[in-house]
Copies of this chain bind each other. A is one copy, B any other.
């Protein structure tokens, strides 16, 4: 992905936004972070990248349902290989909201994210990205 000389001079490599979006499209599980009343929270979710938005399904009674009302969030996907000390991550920062538009809901029930866990999860939350960034990190001794 980079020439050896690039690897010598930088320990992080920026992932271009277009590639970040590709990574968002091919993956299906990530982590959402927000500021809950009792402090920062991080929770894994399964998602779909649909019309440039991150969409996931949750229970209307679960902790994630608090994100229905326009809440600022961070959404992260990554692959970290501890054994070879290398990894990448993509971070989306934006605003979450409940999906209420009937047309969107019909589409999402057909093509949207399917939670792994069972139970009533008929609330769709969408995150509109305001900023997408990504980077690759490798152990310093790779150089």
A116 smallest CB distance to B (angstroms): 4
Q: Is A4 an interface residue (CB 8 A)?
A: no
> In whole angstroms, how far apart are the Cα atoms of A80 and B89 in the complex?
14
The residue from B12, B74, B80, B117 contacting A42, defined by CB atoms under 8 A apart: B74
Question: By the criterion of a CB under 8 Å from any partner CB, how many residues of chain A are at the interface?
Answer: 41
The residue from B40, B73, B86 contacting A73, defined by CB atoms under 8 A apart: B40
Inter-chain contacts of A87 with B (CB < 8 A):
29, 44, 116
Q: Is A129 an interface residue (CB 8 A)?
A: no
Q: Which of A16-24, A50-58, A103-111, A132-140 participates in binding chain B?
A: A132-140
Per-residue interface assignment for chain A, residues 56 to 100, with 1 indicating a CB less than 8 Å from any chain B CB and 0 otherwise: 000000000000000011111010101001110101010000000
Q: A28-B82, A115-B140 are in contact. List 20 more A-B contacts (CB 8 A).
A: A11-B116, A11-B119, A29-B80, A31-B76, A35-B40, A39-B73, A39-B74, A40-B72, A40-B74, A41-B93, A42-B75, A44-B80, A44-B89, A44-B137, A46-B85, A87-B116, A116-B137, A117-B137, A117-B138, A118-B140
